[in-house]
Structure 1
Amino acid sequence: MGVADIIAVYGAVLSTALAAAQFVSWWRARKMVGVQVSLRDLYSQDGRRRAPDSVVLIRAINRTDHTLKINGIGMEQVGKKSLASVDGLPAPLHPHDSFDRPLPWDPMAQHFDFDKPVTAYVTLTNGEIFRTKPTVLGAPKVVSGAAAGALGQPEQPTY
């Protein structure tokens, strides 16, 4: 084995070790709880839409292998107070599962300007807080009378 072979083996071992260290660093830094926020419609048990009821849906996603406890769910906006929902909490967030909290659109729209970015958050009983990136939700759009009539439906919000 010549000097060139020794240098090649050394380089291969070193680059593999650096790649493994980078992977471990990424793995530890990733978010273990994801949070999503969206604007949704409410549906009745038979699948019919309950127009014009819309909700802001906040979803917490547990990417860990153990159960977490949610202590609070809420939203905040720059220049506005945060609004939290604690009804029915703390609640378990099981491994690789999600927890949804629908918040009524009308009271939320009175508190927040949804044409500007809002941030949803989830707090755990251990004090950790996980947030969404600032998101513009906008407002529910109404299908015009002609389009709704063609569909045989009353006017209703769409997204």
Structure 2
Amino acid sequence: MLSPFHLSKVRSDGSLQWLEGAISVERATARVKVLSASSPGAYVITNLTGKVEFPPKRTMFQIGYEEKELNARAELFRRCGLEVISVADNESAKRALASIRNVDVFVVGQTAPEQMRKEMVEWLKANFPKVKIVALIQSANRQVPRADYNIVLNNGKECLSLLAATAS
């Protein structure tokens, strides 16, 4: 069967490296998410006419509490094709989210006091009940109640895999 959609990775010189075919743009988009989690970079989906089909960008909103870690995570997520909005604290998050309604996943950083993180998760659940919340935690016994996912942040790969799954 001929695959009507083709996945390619954009090389550093701008040329395309064909990777594989897919039977629908939805399957191609899902496959791009998996590929970008394991091999960051730009990917394109084309149809049989060569027209580029751009999968919709997923938006990740992170509340970081610590600027250095916030910036490092933002860069990592952008390299995986996510649109990233970052804020440093709960009040900044609430102000920003007053005008932003389209978010696919929230990430709550691990460096703030536990009560502050719990309050943020509660507020997010009340105001964005259908959006998944990932709480980054320092150890498995310090989980944030009501977060959809609690992950111990050992390395970036674990976090990227989980975010790819939650943003789909």
More helix by share: 2
- The reply to whether TM is greater than 0.5 is no
TM-score (norm 1): 0.31
Larger radius of gyration: 1
TM-score (norm 2): 0.29
More strand by share: 1
